[in-house]
Chains A and B, each alone.
Chain A
Amino acid sequence: MNKKLICTLMAGTLLVGTVTGCGSSSEGDSSAKGTELELFSSKAENKDILQKLVDKFNETHEDVTIKITAPADAGTVLKTRMAKNDMPDIVAMGGDNNYTEVESAGMLVDLSNENYISNIQESYLQMVYDVNKDKEEKVYGVPYATNASGVIYNVDKFKEYGIEIPKTWDEFIDVLEKLQDAGEQPLLMTYKDAWTSNCPWNSIASDLAPESFNDDRKAGKTTFVGTHEEISEKYLKLLDYAQDDFMGLTYDDGNKAFSNGEAAMIINGNWAVNQYKNANTDINVDMFAFPASNDESQNYVTSGVDVLLGVCKDSANEEVAKEFVSFMLEPENAKMYIDDQFAFSAVKGVEQENETVAGVKEDIAAGKVANFPDHYYPSGFDMSALLTEMCLNYTNGMDNEENINQFLAQCDEKYDIANVD
């Protein structure tokens, strides 16, 4: 009897499990009670502000429910869902190689003929075209918010030592030396989270790499070896000014340490600024373009499309989804978004006025921006793993020249493996 009971219970639970399993998966398709849409965001940081905007949208669209999904490791999740043919209705994602994967699989609707496109800054539209398959000049993703990466500095410390904002590489090194001599920690690095090792690389490479490098590399006409030596040298030079345990410090802990004034500078992006503010409301920070070159005109602000909006094909509610995208791009709403995120807007005339990023505002408005080089690398190419490996070799005391040669050879090798269409 007992055994029977147990068997029945087990079979019962299993059956219930499968039945409820089916139930939840078909829920998305039913549109009986109003329209339900899913907005997939690849940035966990913007979930709150998106929710606010969705609520605002709902004031005028009462019958529409928009559910926001913002999982960790969103790029992978989205690709997995693409494999299952279970796409959301609207995507809000970076203009990077994850976007290319989604776009080239033909998952997004062409929005080129929508009214709001004429109100978007051309430089950012161009960045999205550049990551489209075959560089097709069609708007499958509308640039929404943009970011800026460079050197974030503690304003009070710069004042204390009377330091001017460095405009060239030599000036930058002087500043680092001066801070070190004064007993300050010049640079804080958080390479335990490998993605942060990309930040200095992106800034240096966007200033110094040959202009057509990304196209030529893709076509196999050039290599990292022979073009990226100076970039790697400067990258390693920075490590001389980093704290001792730079390979063991996480992004979160590093942000807290920086907010508490434990270092003068950190190389990261505007997305990190509200983390500092959260940890210490009194911190005074600003940002300047990374001066990788001694030719001032070459020192761009690294800026890319941080969030673009796309409408998925085969969405049952394409019209509502389009309406939502258009709502998001209204200047008032775009402003609300960038104010919350310390970001910049791709919508013309919507400016970021916050002083924490004032140092790069002019360059951005003037279009002195260069996109993140890693947005152009193939998606299987894990630059941060290669960079942290080079840094690990550095901490083990390997000779810089040998280290760089090995690193660049690895770059080419791994790039070729990943560069398949």
Chain B
Amino acid sequence: MKNKAPRKKPAVNRVYYIYVGILAVLFFTFHTIPFLKGVLYSFTDWRGYGEWNFVGLRNYIHMFSDVDTGNAYLFTFKFAVITTILVNVISLILACALNAKIKFKNTIKAFYFLPYMLGSLIVGFIFNYIFANLIPQLGKGIGIKALSVNILGTNHAIWGIVAVSLWIGCAFNTLIYIAGLQSIDTDVYEAADLDGATGFKRFSKITFPLLAPSFTINMVLSAKGYLMVYDQIMAMTEGGPGTSTTSIAVLIYKKGFGGGQFAYQSANAVMLFVVVVLISVFQLRILEKREEKLG
């Protein structure tokens, strides 16, 4: 009797193991193996084809003296910091507005979510046209010199890319914030009302702290996404003018495939992976601690 009971216990259907097994194999073959291969190549001098030798850490050491890589990291960090902050501020404001009792709420929500459904390449091409034609005409019309040229051809090209990234990125972040806002118990607000907390005070003392989990997700995901920014840049400036908007992902693609530096750029990709993981873990640590304190 005693022996029979534990034998019956694994009631989990074997089918689940089969499914998980299949997916694990597929994931391993098409995701993990290529990744590990990339790591392997980063220790070689492979150009993408032909013969290769192991060169140890040469690629990684070279990275620290390479001006191009340094500039790309500078640009990427600058871009990621600016965009992550702005996208979260704007999304938070939008979410609060959309969560208020206004008319046509759902229609407006749908409009805000539309950009997210378009591919960022398409958005990039559309904005390319806007920056090249519409804005300069407007600028000339009202006589502002700074607006009368294509911003993507100037020193300020980064702001053009930031604007477009915000336009695409706000949709998703707003959605998460709205979900967070809806999960806040209305009792809390009623209590706040009784205590006389209204307006900005209510937001800073009640809404924002209770949104902590959404804030964590949004910060980590957007920082990760913007550190790996690629498609908007390829669609709008291809890293130019000069190399002023070359992000690390763009550099890896351009030099890795176009410039015969496959192995070296693999090392760069591994480095980017490490940097993104470190930053994400760092953010999670701090933000989760904050959640605990508030919780």
Contacts and interface: CB of A to CB of B under 8 A. Distances in A.
B259 interface: yes
A250 B150 CA distance: 10
B232 interface: no
A27 B130 CA distance: 43
A294 B241 CA distance: 32
A14 B29 CA distance: 13
B15 A247 contact: no
B59 to A, nearest CB: 13
A352 to B, nearest CB: 31
A32 interface: no
Contacts of B257: 76, 79-80
Contacts of B128: 250
A232 B138 CA distance: 35
A253 interface: yes
A383 to B, nearest CB: 12
B153 A192 contact: yes
B242 A11 contact: no
Interface stretch (A113-121, A207-215, A218-226, A388-396): A388-396
B106 interface: no
Nearest to B242: A389
A126 B216 CA distance: 63
B48 A83 contact: yes
A245 B260 contact: no
B255 A380 contact: yes
A307 B238 CA distance: 25
B133 A248 contact: no
A249 to B, nearest CB: 7
A15 interface: yes
Interface in B10-61: 13, 15-16, 19, 22-23, 26, 48-50
B152 interface: yes
| Chain A residues touching B, majority SS | helix
Contact of B149 (A80, A83, A245): A245
Nearest to A413: B67
Contact of A248 (B16, B150, B258): B150
B136 interface: yes
A22 interface: no
A75 interface: yes
A101 to B, nearest CB: 7
B148 interface: yes
Contact of B136 (A248, A380, A385): A248
B239 interface: yes
Nearest to B19: A7
A4 interface: yes
B22 A11 contact: yes
Contacts of B155: 392, 396
A247 to B, nearest CB: 3
A22 B167 CA distance: 38
B132 interface: yes
Nearest to A101: B260
Contact of A388 (B19, B149, B241): B241
Interface residues of A, number: 43
A16 to B, nearest CB: 12
B151 interface: yes
Contacts of B131: 248
Nearest to A3: B16
Nearest to B262: A83
Nearest to A395: B154
B55 to A, nearest CB: 12
Contact of B244 (A80, A101, A382, A392): A392
Contacts of A101: 260
A330 interface: no
Contacts of A83: 48-49, 262
Contacts of B207: none
A238 interface: no
B49 A79 contact: yes
Interface in A158-194: 191-192, 194
Contacts of B213: none
A106 B22 CA distance: 40
A105 interface: yes
A380 B259 contact: yes
B227 to A, nearest CB: 22
Contacts of A246: 153
A258 B244 CA distance: 28
A75 B258 contact: yes
Contact of B241 (A380, A389, A418): A389
A247 B16 contact: no
A363 B254 CA distance: 37
B240 interface: yes
Contacts of B280: none
A192 B238 CA distance: 10
A194 B238 contact: yes
B99 interface: no
Given A83-B262, A379-B260, A386-B242, A253 B133 contact: yes
5 contacts: A4-B15, A248-B152, A250-B128, A379-B260, A380-B261
